[in-house]
Amino acid sequence: MATAPTTTRDLGSADCVLDREGLDALVQALRARGRTVVGPTARDGAIVLAELESAAELPYGWGVELEGGHYRVVRREDEAAFAHSAGPQSWKNFLLPERVRQWTADRGPDGEMTVRAERHDPASYAFLGVRPCDLRAIAIQDQVLLGGRHRDDAYGARRTGAFLIAVECVEPGATCFCVSMGTGPAAGPGYDIALTEVLDDAGHRFLARAGTPEGAEVLAGLPQRPADAVTRTAAHEAVEAAAGRMGRTMPSVDLRALLADTLDAERWNDVAARCLTCGNCTMACPTCFCTTTEDVTDLTGDHAERWSRWDSCYDLDFSHLHGGPVRSSGRSRYRQWLTHKLGTWHDQFGSSGCVGCGRCIVWCPVAIDITEEAHALHQEALSKGGPS
């Protein structure tokens, strides 16, 4: 079933209020601890994630205009730093990089082959501006890549040292549906520090609370003032209001059962007529985790490398077995992605694979909308006498 809105649950847990100078002090404190601070910044016509040297590089005064297949950065009338929805990247780009070398092999003059495993010394990251939906996405990837028998140690090394600063969503985009997935707009568990941006007649400030001992230690060293009732109330009301302004919804049904019961629905033919099977949705998705390996060699044949890179279930080779691909049609490949994301992910990992960020809608070149498809499947099931 669709879950109730996630809103700020414990206003008393707010530790302090930071102003803009305090936010910059947070960045500097983390850098002084040897961390690579990554956060949103306005660059190349988008809000992208990049290393920050100071909080001044945050996208103050910039927002985004979103729709299916449409993304524009727009100037705001205020100087809000985090009043933008999820951009083209997610934190997956840093925790599970798109392309990673696994080993190299070299043949010496005597013909002997030497193979060296790639040694990775991951950066000690601090992620500033993690949306609640993305906070949940990181937890899902943790379960996928660290929670089973086939542990990804390279991911584990990157993830173990990551310091997460969540920012609660007070201005959802037109393609957001985190409320339907129970992942926002308030920050759930997993953060070191959570911030809620408040910008009103009383000034521009950030309500901050710690989620871990390290988070509390970092906050304690920053210029701050005690949390006041006006700021707490304004932050709470802003998050509550955001929960009521989601741009999209999922049908209020058991999505796992819906997808299992509609494998032969006519709607799959409709979406197949539009889908380009480009895989953009899987590349933009913060939880898609599939990878493949590729071996490359130089022209001499004396040097070879193996690389891991992202893969997509939209790729014909993804399901290729002896004799050809198992899923040769666009219909079957889109159905595989959607039924796994919303349905059989539960069977593998105990949760949905969708966090309601809306990236797959925005970055689909033909504006296919995962929420629209779920509603259409539900309506088709109802028309055939299925459960409401």
Mean pLDDT of the chain: 92
| pLDDT of res. 384 | 86
Residue 162 lies in a domain: yes
Based on the fold, state whether residues 263 and 206 are members of the same structural domain. Answer: no
| pLDDT of res. 291 | 93
| Residue whose token pair is 């913060």 | 286
Structure tokens at 61: 């005064």
| pLDDT of res. 101 | 93
Residue 386 has pLDDT above 70, yes or no: no
CB 20 within 8 A of CB 224: no
Give which of 386, 368, 370 is closest to 378, Cα–Cα: 386
| pLDDT of res. 120 | 78
| pLDDT of res. 328 | 82
Distance of CA 135 to the CA centre of its chain: 7
Strand partners, 293: 308
CB 80 within 8 A of CB 61: yes
CB 32 within 8 A of CB 192: no
Based on the fold, state whether residues 208 and 262 are members of the same structural domain. Answer: no
Based on the fold, state whether residues 84 and 205 are members of the same structural domain. Answer: yes
Number of other CB atoms surrounding residue 63 within 10 Å: 21
Query: Residue 281 — very low, low, confident or very high, per pLDDT cuts 50/70/90?
Result: very high
Distance in Å from the first CA to the final CA of the chain: 12
Say which amino acid occupies 45.
G
Based on the fold, state whether residues 17 and 129 are members of the same structural domain. Answer: yes
Range 211-238 average pLDDT? 95
Based on the fold, state whether residues 92 and 218 are members of the same structural domain. Answer: yes
- What percent of the chain has a predicted confidence (pLDDT) above 90? 83
Range 216-242 average pLDDT? 95
Range with lowest mean pLDDT among 12-21, 52-61, 300-309, 331-340: 12-21
Query: Residue 296 — very low, low, confident or very high, per pLDDT cuts 50/70/90?
Result: very high
Range 187-195 average pLDDT? 96
Give which of 211, 170, 227 is closest to 7, Cα–Cα: 170
Structure tokens at 52: 């920050």
Based on the fold, state whether residues 71 and 186 are members of the same structural domain. Answer: yes
Structure tokens at 29: 């404190």
- Residue after which a domain boundary falls, among 243, 270, 286: 243
Structure tokens at 98: 């798109």
pTM of the model: 0.91
Residue 164 lies in a domain: yes
Distances (CA, A) of 311 to 97, 179, 325: 12, 29, 15
Q: Which domain holds residue 262?
A: 255-383
CB 354 within 8 A of CB 259: no
- Residue after which a domain boundary falls, among 215, 243, 271: 243
Structure tokens at 281: 């949705």
| Residue whose token pair is 């891991």 | 308
- What percent of the chain has a predicted confidence (pLDDT) above 70? 96
Based on the fold, state whether residues 274 and 239 are members of the same structural domain. Answer: no
- Residue after which a domain boundary falls, among 210, 243, 276: 243
| pLDDT of res. 387 | 65
Distances (CA, A) of 131 to 75, 80, 84, 184: 21, 15, 10, 8
Task: Cis check for the bond before 185: say yes or no (omega within 30 of 0).
Answer: yes
Query: Residue 388 — very low, low, confident or very high, per pLDDT cuts 50/70/90?
Result: low
| Residue whose token pair is 């893969």 | 311
Detail the DSSP E strand segments found in the chain.
16-18, 36-43, 46-51, 62-67, 70-75, 99-107, 113-117, 125-130, 163-167, 193-200, 203-210, 225-226, 291-297, 303-310, 320-321, 324-325
> How many domains does the chain contain in total?
2
Residue 110 lies in a domain: no
What does residue 374 show for φ and ψ, rounded to 5 degrees? -65, -45
Query: Residue 382 — very low, low, confident or very high, per pLDDT cuts 50/70/90?
Result: very high
* pLDDT digits 0-9 by tens, 104-154: 999 999 889 999 998 878 889 999 999 999 999 999 999 999 987 888 988
Give which of 184, 227, 170, 179 is closest to 22, Cα–Cα: 227
Based on the fold, state whether residues 344 and 303 are members of the same structural domain. Answer: yes
* pLDDT digits 0-9 by tens, 1-29: 334 344 444 444 558 999 999 999 999 99
